[in-house]
């Protein structure tokens, strides 16, 4: 029973965990997709995902506490059942689909969504999310989150056009991914992803979880809503481009 001892792993893992915590604390889940690819530069991607999941579950506790009573139950009632369905499908197909193909698909969707928003200059009026749209993106988020920990872009694509208050937006995302991540523990455990080395490495990195979440939460409350939304669209575009790059190369 040993932890990963490679110093290069921790040079990448420490900032990656902090960044993911900041994403959960208020900077948006699309920002968090850099964590697993960064760690995967040193270790196997499956191992990186298994190490991150317990840390994400700890982050979720702090994120949900921060955003308690600050979420949109209407959108959660649509997204959560679809997310669970997406997890179930992804679990059945685990190991049978190319992660690169999933990265390419989500990357294309995220990039096109942002370009469409920026260049078509859509109306500023609030738009209520339809059930079909919520089911589609919720299932996509559950699926991609289970396969490659990249559920942020699909949920962001669904929620950003709703123009929710910035705190309610982040609270809704926090609750959604808390439920998704804890359910994901089941297939990851059944597939034997949590060996002693992965668990102990997760425990070593775990104290960074509340620090990252707190940093993100502080930034969220200091930046105006327009700035938060502008940042989220940019983060979504960058994360989509990163997924495209990872899928092609």
**Segments making up each domain of the chain, as ranges:** 7-248
Q: Determine the pLDDT at residue 71.
A: 95
Q: Determine the pLDDT at residue 123.
A: 52
Average pLDDT over residues 80-104: 88
- Angle between helix axes 45-66 and 7-22 (nearest 10 degrees) is 30
pTM for the model stands at 0.85
Is residue 120's pLDDT more than 80?
Answer: no
| Rounded CA separation 72/53 (Å) | 25
| More confident site: 177 or 121 | 177
Q: Determine the pLDDT at residue 139.
A: 96
* Percentage above 70 pLDDT, the chain: 96
Q: Determine the pLDDT at residue 12.
A: 85
| Rounded CA separation 165/4 (Å) | 41
pLDDT digits (tens, 9 = 90+) for 191-204: 888 999 999 999 99
Q: Determine the pLDDT at residue 129.
A: 60
Q: How far apart are the first and last CA of the chain?
A: 34
Q: Tell me the pLDDT band of 140, cut-offs 50, 70 and 90.
A: very high
């Amino acid at each position: 029973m040993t932890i990963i001892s490679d110093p290069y792993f921790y040079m990448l893992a420490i900032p990656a965990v902090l960044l993911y915590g900041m994403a959960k604390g208020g900077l948006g889940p699309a920002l968090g997709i850099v964590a697993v690819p960064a760690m995967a530069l040193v270790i196997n991607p499956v191992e990186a995902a298994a190490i991150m999941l317990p840390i994400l579950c700890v982050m979720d506790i702090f994120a949900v506490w921060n955003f308690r009573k600050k979420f949109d139950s209407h959108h959660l009632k649509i997204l959560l059942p679809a997310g669970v369905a997406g997890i179930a499908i992804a679990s059945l197909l685990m190991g049978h689909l190319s992660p690169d193909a999933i990265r390419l698909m989500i990357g294309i969707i995220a990039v096109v969504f942002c370009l469409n928003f920026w260049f078509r200059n859509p109306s500023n009026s609030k738009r209520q999310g339809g059930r079909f749209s919520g089911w589609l993106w919720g299932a996509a988020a559950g699926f991609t989150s289970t396969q490659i920990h990249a559920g942020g872009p699909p949920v962001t694509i669904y929620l950003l056009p709703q123009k929710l208050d910035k705190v309610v937006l982040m609270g809704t995302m926090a609750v959604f991914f808390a439920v998704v991540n804890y359910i994901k523990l089941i297939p990851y455990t059944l597939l034997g992803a949590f060996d002693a080395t992965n668990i102990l490495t997760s425990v070593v990195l775990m104290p960074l979880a509340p620090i990252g979440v707190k940093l993100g939460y502080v930034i969220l409350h200091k930046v105006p809503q327009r700035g938060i939304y502008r940042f989220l669209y940019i983060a979504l575009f960058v994360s989509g481009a990163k997924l495209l790059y990872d899928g092609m190369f």
